[in-house]
Structure 1
Amino acid sequence: MNKKIIALAVAAAACATQASAVELYNQDGSTFSIGGHVAISAKGNSDVGGTDLISNSPRINFNATQDLGNGFTADAKGEWSLNYLDGGENSFTTRLGYIGVSHDVYGRAVAGTQWAPYYDVAGVTDMPIAFANDFLYDNHGALGTGRAENMVSYRNDFQLNDNLSIFGGLGLQDGATAGFDNRGQVAIGVNFADFMVGYAYTAGDRTDGLTSKEDATSHALSAKYGSYGDGVYVAGVYTINEYMNGTTNYNTNASTADVLDDSNGMEFIVAYAFANSLNLSINYETLQSNDKKVVDGTVYSQMAFQAEYNITPTFVGFAGYQLDLGSDLNKEENDMWNLGVRYYL
């Protein structure tokens, strides 16, 4: 058993981001902290024109842990996205909310809205601040490809020697989201030194966006080398999907959610972080459709050149330029840029 994996999972309840959260209480086996980040950036459309001020996925979270004895630790997290640019009634919306129990030998169980086991495998390329993995976020809460809603999950990691471990995870969603029935998923992978190879599968019936009930399934294969933000990082993910992705987010002329009966998503990233914390990356992403009724070809393809720099451990500047490499949808090509700062609590 790799105790570091479980320890990191518990630590995530006290440290919500890459920077340490603010610990407000730590006594008698209990901790409580507040974390998150806020950001402001200018995002522009090079071809279409126009510039918007955006907030780049800001959030605030409350985190607690409790030593239960006999090697068990409980943790709880509540996390909300913030709308601080235009205000309004939806200033806070839920991102995460769960209770977990972890043990060095018996693994980790979590119930609530959480990052799914599928994402443990498929999210290896979802790293840069400005531009990153889009196809994972098509109805990700209901489909369990990102932050999965109404999920119970179990994970464990088995250390075979100093450089080799096997990890796995199971997840079940109760189908509380309208248009989606109960869903299950499994993830498995191998860590060898600085390398990781993984596979994940998720399945469950769907009627949302369809005229009949269909089994929405996804196979994800991924591999990575290194740690993002620490020297060389190389990663890739490939997905084989049925009724998982749609075209509405990528086609400005679409009026309905065109759910694809057959699609493939792919993303690759190469990054290098210098000793002074400057992190440069190039990533390529595409979503391909084999659905002749909607579009038979490229839904989107894009490449981004990005830079991130830690001005201080909690204050990060970032910039990115994304090239639109074309699509078979009825849409204009549109290169984009994003320039801003993020502050970690």
Structure 2
Amino acid sequence: MNKKIIALAVAAAAFGTQASAVELYNQDGSTFSIGGHVSLGLKGNSDSDVGGTDINAVSPRINMTATQDLGNGFTADARGEWSLEMLEGGAESFTTRLGYIGVTHEDFGRAVIGTQWAPYYDVAGIADMPIAFANDFLYDNHGALGTGRAESMISYRNDIQLGDNLSIFGGLGWQDDATADFSSRGQVALGVNFADFMVGYAYNAGDRTDGLTSKENAFSHALSAKYGSYGNGLYVGAVYTMNEYMHETANYNRNVYSGDVIDDSNGIEFIAAYAFANSVNLSVNYEAVESNDKTVGEGTVFSQMAFQAEYNFTPSFVGFAGYQLDLGSDLAQYKNKENDMWNFGVRYYL
């Protein structure tokens, strides 16, 4: 695991993806910090049946992270992260988003146990970047299926430097069968970084009965590629997934799920973004899920494209705006229910 990657791993554990947190303690090889963000704005849509303009919270959260130098090149970290309900009395506040302990070594890699971002997401989540609208299909039962934040997981990752601009990375993950609807799951991720390019592959599999009349192997192959770093000049990323029993039929814009699990589906996500020197970041992204299931319907389950802008007033205070076009569905139950959406607001990183 090269020095650049270990530094990023420990920094991410301590401060999150945004380099903004309040470090409350740093002494004798131990640190403790509090981070997260508050994100609020206005959201509306073109379908009057869904509702008008609403004040919207965009996944606010708070986290606490500790790190400890264990000696001999090992660093331990522990994180708890909880969602915040900003608008409706706080009934859903402090539900767990992340909760894990990790140990990282420059040569031996990184091991983590608990609720965490999965190795599968390392590959499939490269387009999940903008604040207002991003990757939806990764979050269908993602905790149990391990496509985003994976519950009850133990994982291992490493990155091996082969040259100044070349490295290979990999990850393994295993989830226990904590619920009756999903059995234990395993996943593997592999990839190559070359200069500003990355190409990756991930496989994720395990049985499910949730939404099904019998036990089926729910699995996904994910391929992805990207160029650049989001928020720093040009960034381009694409993800393609091949799945069985991973997605449900749904009109995502309405958040209405029919409960039918698609036996064969493909997911597509593409993003192109450019961040200017004045901190304006413009992006366009496209997303779709295609069904190959004759029972629930063949064709596009949903498809959408969003145009977005973000501006860093300061490193900790970001404005965002986006307009998402509903490009329609081929499924009869959703074919005439297109719903464009817009969203703008501010995010304050703690």
Shift of 1:291: 0.7
Q: Does the aligned pair in 2 maintain the 1:17–1:36 contact within 8 Å?
A: no
* Alignment partner, residue 342 of structure 1: 347
8 A Cα contact 1:73 1:101, kept in partner: yes
Amino acid at match of 2:69: D
The equivalent of 2:14 in structure 1 is: 14
CA contact (8 A) 2:115 2:149 kept: yes
Task: Write out per-residue CA displacement over residues 210-267 of structure 1, whole angstroms, 9 at most, x where no aligned residue.
Answer: 0000000000000000000000000000000000000245385967411100000001
Q: CA deviation at 1:88?
A: 4.3
Give RMSD over aligned pairs.
1.3
Structure 2: 5+ residue runs without aligned partners? none
Q: Equivalent of 2:221, from 219, 222, 243?
A: 219
Counterpart secondary structure, 1:131: coil
Label 1:146 to 1:93 Cα distance change in 2 as closer, same or farther (>3 A): same
Shift of 1:196: 0.1
Query: After TM superposition, what 4+ stretches of structure 1 lie above 4 angstroms from structure 2?
Result: 251-256
Structure 1 residues 255 and 237 mapped into 2: Cα distance closer, same or farther (>3 Å)?
A: closer
Residue equivalent to 1:203? 205
Q: Which residue of 1 aligns with 2:164?
A: 162
Task: Answer whether contact 1:268 1:285 (CA < 8 A) is retained.
Answer: yes
Which residue does 1:41 correspond to in 2?
A: 41
TM-score (norm 1): 0.98
Deviation at 1:97, TM superposition (A): 0.2
State the SS of the aligned residue for 2:324. Answer: strand
Aligned to 1:30: 30
* Alpha carbons of structure 1 residues 253 and 17: separation in structure 2 relative to 1, 3 Å: closer
Per-residue CA distance 1:33-92 (angstroms, 9 max, x = gap) = 000000111110024351111110000000000000000000000000000210143221
8 Å CA contact 2:251, 2:302 repeated in 1: no
Equivalence for 1:67: 69
Deviation at 1:166, TM superposition (A): 0.2
Query: Cα distance, 1:16 vs. partner?
Result: 2.0
Counterpart CA distance in 2 for 1:279 and 1:147 is 26
Which stretch of the first structure deviates more once superposed, 59-68 or 246-255?
246-255
Give the letter aligned to residue 15 of structure 1.
Answer: F
Q: Does the CA contact (< 8 Å) of 2:248 and 2:258 recur in 1?
A: no
Q: How does 1:113-192 map to 2 (within 5 A)?
A: 113-192=115-194
Query: In the TM superposition, what is the alpha-carbon distance from 1:177 to its structure 2 partner?
Result: 2.7
8 A Cα contact 1:44 1:52, kept in partner: yes
Q: Which amino acid aligns with 2:32?
A: F
Conserved in 2, the CA contact under 8 Å of 1:17 and 1:344? no
Q: Which moved more, 1:116-125 or 1:46-55?
A: 46-55
Aligned identity (percent) is 80
SS at structure 1 position matched to 2:214: coil
CA offset digits 1:120-153 (Å, max 9, x no partner): 0000000000000000000000000000000000
One-letter identity of the residue aligned with 2:270? F
Amino acid corresponding to residue 335 of structure 1 in structure 2? D
**How has the CA–CA distance of structure 1 residues 286 and 162 changed in structure 2, closer, same or farther, with 3 Å as cutoff?**
same
After TM superposition, give the deviation of residue 325 of structure 1 in Å: 0.6
Which sections of structure 1, spanning at least 5 residues, go unmatched? Answer: none
> Aligned with 2:213: secondary structure?
coil
TM-aligned CA distance change 1:328 to 1:253, over 3 Å: farther
* Offset, 1:178: 3.1
Q: Aligned residue for 1:277?
A: 279
Q: Which of 304, 322, 333 is matched with 2:306 structurally?
A: 304
**Structure 1 stretch displaced more, 60-69 or 244-253:** 244-253
Distance 2:172 2:284 in 1: 32
**Alignment length, in residue pairs?**
345
DSSP-derived class of the 1:119 partner: helix
Alpha-carbon shift at residue 295 of structure 1 (Å): 1.7
User: Deviations for 1:304-344, whole angstroms, at most 9, x for unmatched residues?
Assistant: 00000001111000000000111023231111000100000
Equivalent residue of 1:319, what SS? Answer: strand
SS in 2 for 1:6: helix
Contact 1:174–1:183 (CA under 8 A) maintained in structure 2: yes
Q: Cα distance, 1:4 vs. partner? A: 1.2
The answer as to whether partners of 2:251 and 2:301 remain within 8 angstroms in 1 is: no
Alignment-mate amino acid for residue 225 of structure 1: Y
Q: Which moved more, 1:237-246 or 1:170-179?
A: 170-179
Q: Structure 1 324/219 Cα, relative in aligned 2: closer, same or farther at 3 Å?
A: same
Q: What's the secondary structure of 2:8's corresponding residue? A: helix
For the 8 Å contact 2:249–2:257, the answer to whether it is kept is no
SS at match of 2:212: coil
Cross-structure match for 2:114:
112
Residue by residue over 1:85-135, the C-alpha shift from the partner in whole angstroms, topping out at 9 and shown as x without a partner, is: 101432211000000000000000000000000000000000000000000
In the alignment, does 2:240 pair up with 1:238?
yes
Counterpart residue number, 1:5: 5
